[in-house]
Amino acid sequence: MTDTASEKDTEFEQVGKLISKARFAFVTTSTSDGRLLSRPLAIQERDFDGDLYFFTEDPSPKTEQVSADSHVNVSLQSGDNYLSIAGTASVTRDAALIDELWNPYAEAWFEQGRDDPAVALLKVHADSAEYWTVDSPKPIALIKYAKAMITGERPDVATNVSVDL
């Protein structure tokens, strides 16, 4: 394996780790008049393989927006770290996948529970990601911020990486 392939695998793993530590993400879609609209959605428990899943009602404004323009952004905070994913979304009613991901939190959003005809999943296939991970413990980061204010330099407290997935 080349260094580049190994580096890409490591970056992919880091994206997966950040996702696994987050409960919610903001999913951004485009409205019919071109405005961007973000809403918080619960990330469904699953090992990251390049796809993210969110329970949603279908039909809904969100699923209509995805049908018209599948380009989305998913952003999340994972502890002191941040992740932004650009991808394409689709709506699926795959019963086996819904059963696999179904949980009490999803139950609360659907009047008829798992049998509600509006139950669907928003699937986001990740094309690229950018993440910012904090490299320093908070006390050290605060010292670096103070130093930066005195020297006028940027504080070196995080790593920023862009990843093609």
Kindly state the average pLDDT of the residues 146-150. 72
What residue ranges define each of the domains in the chain, with the CATH number in brackets? 3-164 (2.30.110.10)
pTM over 0.95: no
Name the residue with tokens 């999943």. Answer: 121
Report d(CA 165, CA 162) in Å as an integer. 10
Contacts of 100 (CB under 8 A, 6+ apart): 46
* C-beta of residue 110 within 8 angstroms of C-beta of residue 103: no
Residue 140: pLDDT band (50, 70, 90) is low
Decide: 64 and 37 in contact? Cβ < 8 Å. Answer: no
104 vs 32: CA distance, rounded Å: 33
